[in-house]
A and B are shown apart, each in its own frame.
Chain A
């Protein structure tokens, strides 16, 4: 089970990143759970300063970028 977390306070880019992450996980056939982290204090705990950010299994993989589904696939190992 992969744990995907989308960090962001709810901007349009965060929505798009959430969608792309789900697309990527589904395309790879990975079992996953997805969580949206919208609390600022929770986002800061990750040390993330530019949103949206993507964390996989608790590790920040990308910040400040709207990744495409293909770019996310690479990060899901």
Chain B
């Protein structure tokens, strides 16, 4: 073996077997621990720490000890799975699928692909240019750009973990509908002239070939996603749940009913108005929002607040300003905000 080959040997000879057995073992341990978290939190709170049943402090402590490991474990499992799914959908491939699509069908596809295509808001600008200069209609590009941050795995896991599957499904479906409709409306408005002129003049090349991926690499990508995403959000989860636990234990029942309850019609627009410029990842905001819901806030209002925080933010507007003129940014934010408000009103009226 020459020195070059020797240097390359370790990454090339990783056997798939090790990955499979490691994965099976991890899954069994995960399952065994996850099922016992509630009992463990109960034991820690009342037996080990000896807190009084029914006290404010005990309520807050038990909530915290139970929710933190639960959410982090769910997050790890789902982020890993999504990381593997995403290894099948590169931005490159998504662009090929969307390029030259008619609107409507394109909007639906764009919103759906926004969920599974790896996306980081730091790449929003090159992605936007890459899409619109290679035949993806502007409205379809927007459907993608709305759904990608809004419907993300972190938000879904937290919603599922803290609210249950119904709210998670509600969020997923209404998020998709907003992305589809807002993109469609933006396409109909023919706003191409409000895209910075140099964008359409940019010559976009075609990256040579997709990376060749085998399963060992896909599993590695899943693990990379866990390290990256869980490593980034765990602190927010911790802080969010701590604040949520405080609200849970100390804020009186129905305290929120007057401010964020169904009776106050203005609560939905206000929630969106406050939420849009805010920038917080889903991990920090959802546990707090869950605690508010328990104190009498209405689900529609809470959902609207959450969506506006996650989907739109001031930093995003600043990033997009590179490629979009102010009027288009304002229209984009306005239409999405209206859609979110509509969802808020709808669920306050229905539920």
Contacts and interface: CB of A to CB of B under 8 A. Distances in A.
A1 interface: no
Most buried by B among A40, A62, A65, A66: A40
Contacts of B204: 44-45, 47
7 contacts: A9-B122, A45-B204, A48-B130, A48-B207, A51-B123, A63-B207, A65-B224
Q: Which of B10, B11, B122 has the most CB of A within 10 A?
A: B122
A59 interface: yes
Interface in A5-56: 9, 11, 13, 27-29, 40-41, 43-51
Contact of A44 (B4, B120, B126): B126
Contact of B205 (A28, A46, A50): A46
A74 B130 CA distance: 28
Given A28-B7, A73-B8, A74-B8, A50 B118 contact: yes
B55 interface: no
Interface residues of B, number: 36
B129 A40 contact: yes
A33 B22 CA distance: 39
Contacts, number: 84
Contacts of B198: 41
B127 A50 contact: yes
B242 to A, nearest CB: 27
B211 A62 contact: yes
Given A44-B204, A46-B205, 9 more contacts: A44-B203, A45-B203, A47-B92, A47-B130, A47-B206, A51-B123, A62-B211, A64-B120, A74-B11
Interface of B: 3-4, 7-8, 10-12, 90-92, 95, 118-120, 122-123, 125-127, 129-131, 133, 198, 202-208, 211, 221, 224, 228, 322
Given A60-B208, A74-B11, A40 B126 contact: yes
B180 to A, nearest CB: 22
Contact of A64 (B118, B129, B131): B118
A44 B91 contact: no
Contacts of A11: 122
A74 B5 CA distance: 10
A61 B224 CA distance: 18
A43 B206 CA distance: 11
Q: Which 9 A-B pairs have the closest CB atoms?
A: A47-B205, A49-B130, A47-B207, A49-B91, A50-B123, A47-B206, A60-B207, A49-B127, A45-B205
Contacts of A51: 122-123, 126
A21 to B, nearest CB: 15
- Tell which of A51, A63, A74 has the most Cβ of chain B within 10 Å: A63
A35 B204 CA distance: 20
Contact of B12 (A27, A60, A62, A74): A74
Which of B203, B206, B207 is the most central at the interface, judged by chain A CB atoms within 10 Å of its CB? B207
Contacts of A9: 122, 125
A50 B91 contact: yes
A49 B211 contact: no
A6 B224 CA distance: 20
Nearest to B10: A70
Contact of A59 (B123, B206, B208, B322): B208
A46 B118 contact: no
B4 A48 contact: no
Contacts of B208: 47, 59-60
A49 B123 CA distance: 7
Contacts of A60: 207-208
B126 A49 contact: yes
